[in-house]
Amino acid sequence: MGSDPMTRSDSWGLTLARLPLGTALAWGVAMAVAAPELPRLAAAAALATVALTAWRPWAGLLAVLACAPAGALLAPPPARAAELVAWAFLAAWLLRLDRPLTIDRFPRAVVVPVLLYGTAAVTSWLAYVTAGAGGVTPSTLPWFLLRSLPQEYLALSTPEPHAWTMLQTATGLATLLAALAIAQPDRRTLGLVAKALVVTAAVLAVATLADVGRQWAANDFGAWFLLRYVNGERFSLHLRDLNAAGSLYVLAGLTAAALAIFDPARRLRWIALLAIMAPAVVLAGSRTSFVAGIAGIAILAATARRRMLTPRQRMAAAAVAALVIVAAVVLADWRTDVRGTAGRAASLRSEFSRTTARMFASSPVFGVGVGQYFTRSNEFMSEDLRALYGNENAHNYFAQQFAELGLVGGLLFVWLAGALVTRAWNAARADGEFDPVAVGLFAGVAGYLLTCVTGHPLLVPEAALPFWIAAGAIAGAGRHEERRAAPYGIAAVLVSAVLVVGVGRGVAAYARTGERPRDAGFHEMETAEDGTPFRWVTQHGITYVDDGAGFLRLRLRAPDLPQTRPLLVDTWISGRLVDRRTLPVDQWTAYDVAVREAAGEAFRRVDLRVNQEWTEEVRLGRRAARRPISLMVGEITFIPLK
């Protein structure tokens, strides 16, 4: 056990880091809570999480576990409600400066890969943004890099995948470390996490089934309506990504299965919660989740081998295994008119593997950049896959890490996953009394990671944060001998050297930028109803103009869409804010921005940042997708002074 928390303190370095990090997170939460776009329910959840964390950190952790999976119900996109409650928890936890973060040492076996993998994601973002900063003067580059992190990220998100992927990854890893620190000194936290996870998944399953019932009632209880789900339609109320919903149910379901098998006093309760989740799992229709469920049952059996099961426990285990296997067999080629056969799914996964291999080969050491897989996948797809999807993620999160972060980042993620599974295994196999909770969470964490082999649930914060919390809690409960510090130090030095080189490549690319990059953040050219050609811009659009003194002429139009506040446009030139103005709704506005002196560069970068965003349904390949829109841009012209 650790020392008395009142007599132990953090290292001076950790104490110095807590204040700025906690303050930055608290500022982000405050801006989101004050934003008029954020529903009051999401704001209340964030404030309640702060209060609970200030009272007891474990209570704040459970609040995140309860609220994050329902993030899209608390606040629809572009708000990031799941990360909002996580930031609220982390800010309050870090700013409890009168108490240490944990009364035990952070285990190097987990913390080192967490920090190195997180550093790889951050440096990949830094290198990508720096390399793309052509047209920004060197004197303004530091401020430009800082401003590249969106100030209203939690309320309005960002259209830039490298930014949101990096921030979401950092949030998940920080939550993992917090869960580890909170669970280390008191193993009872593990039980609270497991129970909150199972109950939350069951409540969301009930909500999904209730919504199906509501829709059925709205259609006069017609039998044809239910046949939609029997014949092909997949549905999950709380997650648009149905495979990610399946991954979340794997995490919670395997935990509940272990408790149903090994906790005889409350067996009926856990079986009931499993039964509640089962129809929602079938509605989600993820084949991968059923395969992972079968593997999880095998993991439960392997973990419990040293424990002689009673006849009732053997019957319960057999019943759970039979249920999962039968459901998997039924789903293997069920609803093929909508989903395609299992063989077709395997063929598509094979195509994605080849796409990922080609992308990895284009930049094997440093990758194409954090969050860039979806955007650049079109370049590496076969014609058939491109026609079907347009753009898509890798359907293999492990492979996607190698493509985006290169060999170093990919190996770091594999190291992290292995460290989490190892610590969870040690916790489940610890000497002393058999712990069903540890066994269940170990199986759940391992099963969830298996779904990452054919999916990408860690890209969905509502499904990712519960995993990071469960993995952190079980890693904190693990007890084993720490290895000598030297191997970790050598690994950190080697990885840091490679990452520094990666950032250096970004700086070199920025320094030698000669030709104008392509515009970013704009959609294709369209024609307005009055005949004006225009392009939709996302929250952040980037274009380039000639250097020199003159005027930047802009012709813009705010769309006639529901607005919670006036639409504000910031214009940045060469990394400096030069104009900020409010646009009237549904009318073209033309104005000039003075550019007073030459920057001495080959060209200037122009950034348009908008304070609101909407989504519009479009076709992507053969499927429906939603694209972000903020502003109609009719003209951007530079008029030089003669």
Residue 624: per-residue pLDDT: 72
* 638 phi/psi in degrees, rounded to 5: -100, 125
Q: Residue 78: is the preceding peptide bond cis (ω within 30°)?
A: yes
* 8 phi/psi in degrees, rounded to 5: -100, 145
Residue 631 in domain: yes
Residue 626 in domain: yes
Which among 447, 477, 507 is the end of a domain? 477
Residue span of the structural domain in which 560 resides: 520-640
Q: What is the pLDDT of residues 247-256, one digit of tens each?
A: 999 999 999 9
Residues 313 and 238 in one domain: yes
Q: Specify the pairing of strand 533-546 against strand 603-610.
A: antiparallel
Residues 525 and 623 in one domain: yes
Residue 429 in domain: yes
Question: Which residues share a beta bridge with 619?
Answer: 624
CATH, residue 606: 2.60.120.200
Residues 270 and 370 in one domain: yes
Which among 448, 477, 506 is the end of a domain? 477
The amino acid sitting at 258 is A
Q: Hey, is 219 helix, strand or coil?
A: coil
Residue 334, token pair as written in the block: 């069920």
Residues 446 and 533 in one domain: no
Residue 510 in domain: no
* 35 phi/psi in degrees, rounded to 5: -65, 130
Query: What stretches in the chain show pLDDT beneath 50?
Result: 1-7, 329, 332-339
For the chain, what is the domain count?
2
Residues 300 and 426 in one domain: yes
Alpha carbons within 13 angstroms on the beta-carbon side of residue 333 total 3
Residues 461 and 593 in one domain: no
Residues 286 and 408 in one domain: yes
Residue 126 in domain: no
Question: Which residues lie closer than 8 Å to 115 by C-beta, 6 or more apart?
Answer: 492
Residues 379 and 457 in one domain: yes
Residues 458 and 583 in one domain: no
Residue 598 in domain: yes
Residues 536 and 470 in one domain: no
Residues 188 and 329 in one domain: yes
**Other residues' Cβ atoms within 10 Å of the Cβ of residue 67:** 27
Residue 337: per-residue pLDDT: 47
Residue 107 in domain: no
End-to-end, the C-alpha distance of the chain in Å comes to 76
Residue 172 in domain: no
Instruction: Answer for the pair 348, 325: CB distance below 8 angstroms, yes or no.
Output: no
Residue 3: per-residue pLDDT: 40
Q: What is the pTM of this model?
A: 0.91
Q: What is the pLDDT of residues 512-561, one digit of tens each?
A: 877 888 899 999 999 988 899 999 999 999 999 988 888 999 999 999 88
Residues 464 and 526 in one domain: no
Instruction: Answer for the pair 174, 464: CB distance below 8 angstroms, yes or no.
Output: no
Which among 458, 477, 496 is the end of a domain? 477
